[in-house]
Amino acid sequence: MIFIVKVAYERARVSVAMKNIATVAGEVSKMVKVRAERMIFNVKVAYGRMRVSIAMKNIARVAGRVPKWLKCELKR
């Protein structure tokens, strides 16, 4: 399963709901901290404005630490 994360600013915080991934359009740079409810994990993104498509099998490569509940939601 693939989900898209849009982030606004460098090192921006994007709240992620379990059933609805909130997205914010804008420019992306280097490292972006994504706050998923109670847990925080890092997502490495490229420069400029873009969409980050993350496949479930490749999510470990992009996100250093992924909440277990997020993996469960993505599987469904």
pTM: 0.16
Name which of 53, 34, 54 is nearest 42 in CA terms.
Answer: 34
Nearest to 8 by CA among 25, 23, 21, 31: 25
pLDDT value for 6: 41
Question: Could you tell me the pLDDT band of residue 12, with boundaries at 50, 70 and 90?
Answer: very low
pLDDT average, residue stretch 29-47:
39
Domain ranges for the chain: 2-75
Q: Under 8 Å CB-to-CB from 3, ≥6 apart: which residues?
A: 21, 53, 54, 74
Contact 16, 35 (CB under 8 A): yes
Query: Which residue would you say has higher pLDDT here, 68 or 55?
Result: 68
